[in-house]
Amino acid sequence: MRITSSCIALLSLYAQRIVALSDVILVKESVEVPEGWVKVGRANVGHTLNLRIGLPQPNFGLLEQHLYEISDPHHERYGNHLSKEEVEALVSPHQTSLDSVDQWLASHGLREIQFTRSPAKDWVSVKVPVAVAETMLNTTFYLWKHLESGDLVVRTTMYSLPRDVHDHIDVIQPTTIFARWKAMATTLHRPGHGDFFKEKSKSKLGAVDVDLSCTEAITVKCLAQLYKTAGYVPKATNKNGLGITGYLEQFANFADLRSFYESQVPEAVNSSFTFFSVNGGLNNQTLDEAGEEAGLDIQFAFGLSYPTPGTFWSTGGRPPFIPDNTAPTNDNEPYADWLDFVLKQGKIPQTISTSYADHEQTVPEAYARRVCRGFAQLGARGVSVLFASGDGGVSDGNSDPKTQQCFSNDGKNTYKFLPMFPPSCPYVTSVGGTFGIPEVAVPFSGGGFSYYFAQPPYQKSAVASYLSKLPPGHYDGLYNREGRGFPDVSAQSYPFQTWWKGEALLLGGTSASSPVVAAVVALLNDARLAKNLPPLGFLNPLLYSKGVNGFNDITEGNNVGCGTLGFNVRLSCLGLQSLTFPYFKATAGWDPVTGLGTPDFLKLKKLFT
């Protein structure tokens, strides 16, 4: 066969065009630096980054369909949860994506032996020096400092990928993520809080069958009386489990738990929980390093659900501040690390509670969506995932009004309500807060509407009903009326009588509410498993339909946020004087303060078993 010179020229031109296309670099992600972070200088080029590369999940829509069908009590497939292998098959990327990413990594000298893959191969992790990462991502990494805490991170504000691999990668982190995943615990030693609680409770205590002592502090006994779990004896402890996650060097202390049990659950004194370390998470058992948040979570979750077996995960991932350290080693990406670990397990506790979050806008949207999809995988496997809704009302999750922020970080400085993530994820159950007896909404209860996630079908009717009750123009433009509304439910949030560092003290926050609801869910799972029924799994489609009648509707109170004198002055400069002290009100039915209300175990048990 004779090839003409003109043909050779055309082939050469075509080959050059192919090379040119592969050399085209496209921006993959770009973010504004959140308020409170300052650039320190160029990152040490020798510092090691553990890059987590998320590949597309082309069949996630099918997984979501399965999730909604098996979680809908009116669907014929209700309760038919998927296996680990079935879930992995539904989130696996196409082979073309795997090949393209492998070839791209190989072009930078990275071999298969250096990769770590998730079971579904939808995540690839590889450790590289900053110098290599900068070449791979066509970017520059800097050292950033968080002014309030002093934490240091290595980050960039933008990265790019070659055109031929661009569509085969969803996200790469840690690159643009500045979230800090704050704990939701609120110390209640501040003057006035306890007195306000007691005054509110004593005024109507006679209307509720709860001990008078519950006006002084919330205990396991108070919660059992309020939510009707008193007298229930778990029967399926060999099948059931309840898990609590811990982050930010929070250690669940065995000695504090024993002291708590001695004072409130004496029958549990000789019991404990299973511990797992994730990504270098520590288990320091010295009392002076006991975790305030971790202690509150495990004591009330495990105490209220005793003797249901408990699990605690300690997940590493916050860079410690060392003044002369220019190369922090942790990546501050705890949810993805925890999901990596737990999704690999064949057996997972059927109920899991987390009391850590950050405002949604500090989490890059692509990363938030991938993490949210990880929670959907847990739901499809029959796990109920609960998150505290936050302690800042409609603000940024910060319960201290002096430092609350209610402005966008997209460079436009737009005044707006700031939802929390992961509570805004539609595949988790978000838990708000109440207080008093009878219960009303606690002012710091986090709630609102997501900017990232659309309103899921299970809550459209409930949210539409709430929005129809708002006055015309009520806070228009300050929240996303089409977004996922949260919280979904609520529970008591303070003051909880807990033990920390060997002493009894009062703590609270929605971080107390979430483990309380999780304990009730664990007991409901126990009742189901004892009858050989499957666990509840992803709760929300059930709660917003069949479960509505199993909650105490909270119709009084509101959440607040952004209400300080300095903030008001700033608003007046913007011509927004009328928007001082923004809030949502609790109403009949669902509301973005207390959700559907607080649980009544006996009613829910009757409905669900």
CATH number, domain at 594?
3.40.50.200
Our count of domains for the chain comes to 2
* Mean residue pLDDT across the chain: 85
Answer whether 361's CB lies under 8 Å from 451's CB.
yes
> Is residue 411 located within the same domain as residue 369?
yes
Q: Is residue 224 part of a domain?
A: no
Q: Is residue 364 part of a domain?
A: yes
Residue tagged active-site, from 395, 511, 513, 514: 511
In terms of Cβ atoms closer than 10 Å to its own Cβ (0-12, 13-18, 19+), residue 501 is: middle
Whether the per-residue pLDDT at 192 is higher than 70: the answer is: no
Structural domain range at position 66: 23-75+91-173
Q: How much of the chain exceeds pLDDT 90, in percent? A: 61
Cα–Cα separations (whole angstroms), residue 104 to 53, 111, 165, 169 = 12, 10, 7, 11
Whether the per-residue pLDDT at 266 is higher than 50: the answer is: yes
What does the block give as tokens for 328? Answer: 């922090």
Segment among 167-181, 218-232, 533-547, 592-606 with least mean pLDDT = 167-181
Residue tagged active-site, from 297, 340, 488, 526: 297
Give the pLDDT of residue 8.
54
Shortest CA distance to 117 belongs to which of 344, 365, 442?
344
> Is residue 283 located within the same domain as residue 370?
yes
> Is residue 189 located within the same domain as residue 106?
no
pLDDT digits (tens, 9 = 90+) for 4-48: 555 555 445 544 444 444 568 999 999 988 878 899 999 999 999
Which residue do the tokens 């942790």 mark? 330
pTM of the predicted model, to two decimals? 0.89
> Is residue 406 located within the same domain as residue 479?
yes
Ramachandran sector of residue 456 (left: φ over 0; alpha: ψ -120 to 50; beta: rest) = beta
Q: Is residue 225 part of a domain?
A: no
Q: Strands 551-552 and 598-599, how do they pair?
A: antiparallel
> Is residue 257 located within the same domain as residue 187?
yes
Q: Coil, strand, or helix at residue 55?
A: coil
> Is residue 151 located within the same domain as residue 194?
no
> Is residue 339 located within the same domain as residue 244?
yes
List the binding residues for Ca(2+).
553-554, 589, 591
Give the pLDDT of residue 286.
66
Q: How much of the chain exceeds pLDDT 70, in percent? A: 82
Shortest CA distance to 91 belongs to which of 55, 120, 123, 119?
120
Whether the per-residue pLDDT at 601 is higher than 80: the answer is: yes
Q: Annotated catalytic, 293? A: yes
> Is residue 467 located within the same domain as residue 561?
yes
Q: Is residue 10 part of a domain?
A: no
Shortest CA distance to 92 belongs to which of 139, 59, 116, 137?
59
> Is residue 153 located within the same domain as residue 270?
no
Give the pLDDT of residue 273.
92
Q: Is residue 217 part of a domain?
A: no
> Is residue 589 located within the same domain as residue 492?
yes
**CA separation for the pair 199, 435 (Å, rounded):** 11
Give the pLDDT of residue 541.
98
Cα–Cα separations (whole angstroms), residue 88 to 93, 98, 126, 292 = 10, 15, 21, 36
Residue tagged active-site, from 88, 151, 170, 293: 293
> Is residue 166 located within the same domain as residue 195?
no
Whether the per-residue pLDDT at 567 is higher than 50: the answer is: no
List the binding residues.
553-554, 589, 591
Whether the per-residue pLDDT at 62 is higher than 80: the answer is: yes
Q: Is residue 4 part of a domain?
A: no
> Is residue 563 located within the same domain as residue 447?
yes
